[in-house]
Amino acid sequence: MAKPEAIDVHCHVISPDRGKYPLAPLGGSQSDWSAKRTLTPEQLIAAMDAAGVAKAAVVQASTAYGHDSSYVADSIVRFPDRLTGVFSIDPLDADAVKHIEHWTSRGMTGMRVFTTGTTMPGQQTWLADKEAYKVWEEAGRRKLPVAVQMTLKGVPLLEEIVKNFPQTDFLLDHLARVTLDDGPPYAAAAPLLTLAKYPNVYLKLTSRTVEQCHEGKADAASFMAMILKNFGAKRILWGSNFPAHDDTLSNILRDACAVIASASADEQAEILSGTAKRLYPSLA
C-alpha cells in the first residue's frame, strides 16, 4: 500500500543571523531549544525531502521572535510551492487588525496566539477578552485558521470564543497540552473533550502528544479511539514540532504514523494531510 501523503502543520525556522533577525521572545527569555538549534528554510526543505513530507505550514517561533514573524515570511517566499506561514500577533494590540493585514500581504495563511509556554508559564486569561473580538472576527473573514498555544485551564476561555465566532477555525497546539498518563478512559482529558461539540475546533497532533501516548497507563490505540470518537479524523492534523522536538523529521513522522496506525487508512490520510489541505488551501 502506498505511503499516505504527509503535510506538517507545526514546524519552525530559526535563523543563525541574530543581527538581521533579533530575538524578542514572549515572556522575556528565549526557549532552550531555539537557543541550541537553528533551522533555515533550506535545511527544513532538506529534512522534509528526507522524511517524505510534501509541504509544511511554518509556525512563528514565539519563544524566539515574539510577534515579529519576519523570518517566517522571508522563509516561505523562498519555497512558495512547499511552504506557507503562520504569523503571531497580540490580539489585544490596538493595531492587531493592521498586523493581520501586514502578515497576510506577505503570504501568510495562518495566525497564532500564544497564551502559555516554557517562557511564559501559566494560562493567560486575556484569551476571552472582548478587546480581542475584532481579531477573531477578522480571522474568520479571511479564513485564517488560528493556532492557539494554551493549556486545558484555558478551555472555558476558548469556549467563549468558539461559540461567538463559529466561522473562525481554532487549532489547539499540542492538544492544549493535555496529559494522558492516567490512561483509559483519560479522565484528565475531559476538559478537552468538552470542545468536541464545536465544529470549528481542531486538534494538532504533535510530537509532544505522540510521546505522551507512551507515558504511564496511556497507549496509542486507546488514545486514538478517544479522539477519533469525539473529534473525527477530519478535525485532527499532524504537526512535527521540528526542530523544537530534538529528533530528525523522519523519526518524528515515523513515530506519529505508529501512533495513528490503529485508525483506518482513510482516517490516517485525513490526519496526515487531508485536514491540513482544507485549513491551508495553499498546501493542497
Asked if the model's pLDDT at residue 260 lies above 90, the reply is yes
Phi, then psi, of 161 in degrees rounded to 5: -75, -50
Asked if the model's pLDDT at residue 119 lies above 80, the reply is no
Asked if the model's pLDDT at residue 2 lies above 80, the reply is no
For residues 153-164, give the mean pLDDT.
93
What CA–CA distance (Å, rounded) separates 194 from 231? 10
- The pLDDT tens digits of the residues spanning 233-258 come to 999 999 999 999 999 999 999 999 99
Q: How far is CA 216 from CA 1, 5, 186, 212, 213, in A?
A: 33, 31, 11, 8, 8
Band (128; pLDDT cuts 50, 70, 90): confident
Sheet of 236-238, strand order: 6-11, 53-59, 83-88, 108-114, 146-149, 170-172, 201-205, 236-238
Residue 247 and residue 39 in contact, taking contact as beta carbons nearer than 8 Å: no
Asked if the model's pLDDT at residue 125 lies above 80, the reply is no
Of residues 190 and 26, more confidently modeled = 190
What CA–CA distance (Å, rounded) separates 57 from 136? 20
Q: What is the pTM of this model?
A: 0.94
The C-alpha R_g of the chain, in whole angstroms, comes to 17
Kindly state the cell numbers that stand for 140.
474568520
Return the CATH number of 6-283, one of 3.20.20.140, 1.10.10.60, 3.40.190.290, 3.40.50.20. 3.20.20.140
Residue 27: what pLDDT?
A: 77
Asked if the model's pLDDT at residue 167 lies above 70, the reply is yes
Band (123; pLDDT cuts 50, 70, 90): low
Best-predicted range by mean pLDDT among 61-70, 108-117, 267-276? 267-276
Asked if the model's pLDDT at residue 118 lies above 70, the reply is no
Angle subtended by helix axes 133-142 and 155-164, to nearest 10: 60
Q: Which of 114-128, 149-163, 259-273 has the lowest mean pLDDT?
A: 114-128
Asked if the model's pLDDT at residue 114 lies above 60, the reply is yes
Residue 214 and residue 258 in contact, taking contact as beta carbons nearer than 8 Å: no
Kindly state the cell numbers that stand for 274.
487531508
Band (129; pLDDT cuts 50, 70, 90): confident
Query: In angstroms, how far is the first alpha carbon of the chain from the final one?
Result: 22
